[in-house]
Amino acid sequence: MRIFILYIFLYIFVFQGTAQISDFSHISFEKADEIALKYKDETLHNLPDLVYKLTSQLDTDAERFRAIFKWICSNVSNNYGLYERNKRNRQRYKDNPARLKAWNSKFQKIVFKRLLKNRSTICTGYAYLVKELANLADIECEMIHGYGRTSTINLKTLDSPNHSWNVVKLDGKWYLCDPTWASGNPNPESNQFQFDFNEGFFLSDPKIFAINHHPIIKKWFLLEGETPSFDDFMDAPIIYNKAYAYFSGHTYPQKMHNAIQRNQNINFTLQLQKEVAEKDVNLVIESSFRERKIYPKEVSIKDNSLSIDYKFEFTGFYDVHLYIKEDLIATYTVEVTR
């Protein structure tokens, strides 16, 4: 009997494959996307009505959730002004819980007012809206708080949670998504928000998600077995938006900062989620004096895994950027010694 229970336990908690979008490869989200586009002029004044419009013509929860997610990510903009204001005050009051609480309560009102009026918000507003609309469509969905890492977040000052995203239960399984990062980016010139939907943040693979998302509550990694520690997360390489388009996981190097000796191999291994040609894999190597693009000779693609080996001939400190064609995937630093 005990063994039986153990097997059931193992079956439920261990043998459940990681949940990701490929589980829904038999579903086309075209219709859901069309509906999201059709109602682009809707406001947030009547949420139940909005949910009804977005979901009533769709047959599966996955499609219904997709329509909601797509609508939010293509209609709610990221408000950098609010973000800066919040960051400043959270930093200012971080050692004064009473002031921080007062600020949070005040800021919350500002955030919801802005969301309703201008359809613009910051992370938590996105996550809140996804949860609220999904719940109205009778889909189980939660907000997850934790840490998010990008190339511009100074990790040394990252001492409290800075990001929110969602988990959603579809066909009895939890999935990850990040509506804020799926919606768009700052325009490189004007620094204003621009919409640019990123498919990779919808039902993402938990393995790659864990490289730059670290939930406060461990179970929301949705990973089997051991989960990364906070130090692992802080030391991990920087991955970019496009990484989510090509890869489902990142194995080596495990750290952002690496030290090797001259002519010693450094290996990069990532798990692919779509086909990549070996000739498209390139590295941009930046030293204090120059930047050069190289097509490494030792690239292999086997069993959905991309492996690159590279040797540095000269000592120095290098920023190494991994690209697929022109798409920036990840950054590492390598210190090469004698």
Closest of 163, 332, 157, 131 to residue 243, by C-alpha:
332
Rounded to whole angstroms, the Cα distance separating 141 from 115 reads 20
Q: With CB under 8 A as the contact rule, which of the stretches 61-69, 237-245, 266-274, 298-306 interacts with another protein?
A: 237-245
337 near another protein (CB under 8 A): no
Binding to another protein, residues 209-228 (CB under 8 A): none
Q: Give the side-chain half-sphere CA count within 13 A for 22.
A: 12
Rounded to whole angstroms, the Cα distance separating 152 from 130 reads 26
DSSP reduced 3-state for 311:
strand
State the minimum distance, in angstroms, from the CB of residue 10 to another protein: 36
56 near another protein (CB under 8 A): yes
Q: Which of 16, 57, 77, 185 binds another protein (CB under 8 A)?
A: 185
Rounded to whole angstroms, the Cα distance separating 233 from 237 reads 9
159 near another protein (CB under 8 A): no
Closest of 80, 75, 328, 330 to residue 187, by C-alpha:
80
The one-character DSSP state at 237 is P
Q: Which of 97, 288, 292, 303 binds another protein (CB under 8 A)?
A: 288
150 near another protein (CB under 8 A): yes
State the minimum distance, in angstroms, from the CB of residue 150 to another protein: 5
Residue closer to another protein, measured from CB, 7 or 314 = 314
Closest of 106, 116, 123, 113 to residue 161, by C-alpha:
123
Residues near another protein (CB under 8 A) = 44-49, 52, 56, 78, 80, 82-83, 86-87, 90, 104-105, 107-109, 111-112, 115-116, 122-125, 128, 132, 135-136, 143, 145, 147-153, 161-164, 180-181, 184-186, 188, 238, 240-242, 286, 288, 317, 319, 321, 328, 331, 333
